Amino acid sequence: MVQVEEAVALKNTNRAQANIKLEAYGYAIADATKAIEIDQSFVKAYYRRAVANTAILKHADAIHDWKVVVRKNPSDKVAKAQYEACQKLVKRDAFLKAIEVAEAPSAAVGLDLENMIVEDSYDGVRLKDEMTKEFVDDMIQRFKDGKRIHKKYVFQIILAVKDLVYNEPTMVETKVEQDRKLTVCGDTHGQYFDLLEIFRLNGFPSEKHGYLFNGDFVDRGSWSTEIALLLYAYKWLYPNNFFLNRGNHETDDMNRMYGFEGECKAKYTERVFKLFSESFSALPLATLIGDKFLTLHGGLFSDDAVTLDDIRKLNRHNQRQPGQSGLMMEMLWTDPQTEPGRGPSKRGVGLQFGPDVTKRFCEKNGLEAVIRSHEVRMEGYEVEHDGRCITVFSAPKYCDSTENKGAYINIESDYKLQFQKFDAVPHPDIKPMAYANNGMMSMMGM
């Protein structure tokens, strides 16, 4: 009997590790918990649960399991380092919460752009008061060559776009006119060279060719600042037909864990990260395309009563970060499931919604489908829920470790969805998560 229980505990613990690899952290926590219930002395199960809770930023939960691991295996130097790192994160989270101010001053206060000097030695195109195609083209090449743009221009771009998106509604509404095209892209996650491959294959943004990037521009991939600045530059250049939805990785907690904060500090300054953070909180949460397709990063809601009007009325400016509940959190975090109804999230954050939920929402709001991102799809996209729920993911060979394709969706004035797949392209030898909290990431095999 004891051997059977040990085998079951081991099976659950191994499955927890597999779910960690799949980023199904909620399932990993459940599996590890089952293993612990069977065998309270099984150190590896505590270890897996600690890793999963750390990944979804539940540091206060993770710290208890790290403590158990260290107590049971005092010679495990790696676990001890993780326990100490987790203690620091818990203290940091408490400190940040304590100093949270509803109307904190902007990081732009005291930033004297007018008198900021761009040195004569700067070899890039100069930026004045308006974005130009010449500047964007030069910036694309600079980033390909491993160069940066001057920090004055970084500040200019972020501040200009912050103002633009702040003044857009929470749900942007757009139509595709005759002889125009709109391309919807999913997560790009700092994979700059794959973003350029989309433009190479599909055409660069222009007055007649709009783009919608559906969140998660940053984190994980190690060219997140390059992607964010390029997308922002295009938003400034084509404000009326280049759209940006917020994703769950355009949030402070995720950026601190998964690399964007560290990358901003390494390539530019901490102030750059703070300004990006302010701009992320100003981004719209959804885009309605031709009254037919609701496009948002995560998915649908815990309550069937939610309508498009509720999204329209949502004042996102009152809540900078999505929190653990509410419409904003659900729009950024939820996922579809094959079973009817709603279920617990495999991620450990948000929830999952079934085909019946999607059908009711679309019929109630006069929609053809919901377009969302947020999850790897091996073919780059997937049509599910009887055609009413479409996932598009635009980071091929995600994190250099998943053999998935990327995809994007072209929409013309007939509103027929045209799916295009593409493969990853080579990039310089810089690994994913190069700027992340690498101590924690090593726990997850990243």
Taking a C-beta distance cutoff of 8 angstroms, is the pair 212, 168 a contact? no
CA distance 154 to 6: 56
Structure tokens at 69: 């691991």
DSSP H helices, 259-326, are: 260-267, 270-282, 308-313
Structure tokens at 73: 């295996």
CB within 8 Å of 418: residues ≥ 6 apart: 409, 410, 411, 412
Q: Which of 350, 257, 287 lies closest to 55 in space, CA to CA?
A: 257
CA distance 168 to 163: 9
Is there a catalytic annotation at residue 249?
Answer: yes
- Cα angle, residue 15 at apex, residues 10 and 17 outer, rounded to 5°: 100
Other CB atoms within 10 Å distance of the CB of residue 298: 30
Taking a C-beta distance cutoff of 8 angstroms, is the pair 224, 436 a contact? no
CA distance 65 to 74: 14
CA distance 255 to 263: 9
CB within 8 Å of 344: residues ≥ 6 apart: 26, 351, 352
Taking a C-beta distance cutoff of 8 angstroms, is the pair 287, 171 a contact? yes
CB within 8 Å of 114: residues ≥ 6 apart: none
Of the listed 59, 189, 249, 297, which one is catalytic?
249
- Between strands 242-245 and 209-214, the pairing is parallel
Q: Which of 213, 265, 260, 261 lies closest to 235 in space, CA to CA?
A: 213
Q: What beta strand segments (E) does 261-350 contain?
A: 286-289, 293-296, 335-336, 342-344
Catalytic residues: 249
